[in-house]
Structure 1
């Protein structure tokens, strides 16, 4: 289910973090064609924009940063599904590594465990209610 964002003034949009991507609504809000948006982010074809908008592919890191700069919106707000998936993967990996390092008394391991404990204690508001 893709919800339509609500315009809250000056082109700003109230974000619903259950939405997969806000690229299409923002592009349409500013009356840009896919070709124009592709040009603005340095992509040679509008096919790339169409694939991102229809969820057939995720943007590259460079594209996500370009969209963020263009629309003055953080990447986690533009692509909440992608952010949530990355967030969950990082937490899962941190949990696995934390368990694997248990029992190793080295100073380096102690430092790693401290770091991983901090990572595992984070609760990010942009992810907590997103269905993965």
Structure 2
């Protein structure tokens, strides 16, 4: 008449492999985000610094050392730095893409600024190294 039926078999017990994989991949993703944030915050390993901009008076398609030093000092101090000493070439030609390099001491550290003139009116950017 009635056959005796088997009780339901218990569900197979799953392993923790998927859970462990998810935790490991989440940790790797978090570390990657933190590494990228540190790279962006601290720069590209010391190969360059911040870029500042300014303007200097051009006379006869060139800039005198004192005028450029004053403009750089103003740009650095506006950015929160403290200029101890700056030296620029006696006369730097000013025109689009022309470059000059100044050296000195800012905040007690050796400082090198690569000044790139954007036009012939004295607008420049300086990359600090």
- Return the TM-score normalized by structure 2: 0.23
Whichever structure has more strand as a proportion of its residues is: 2
TM-score normalised according to structure 1 size: 0.22
Higher Cα Rg: structure 1 or 2? Answer: 2
Which structure shows the bigger proportion of residues in helix conformation?
A: 1
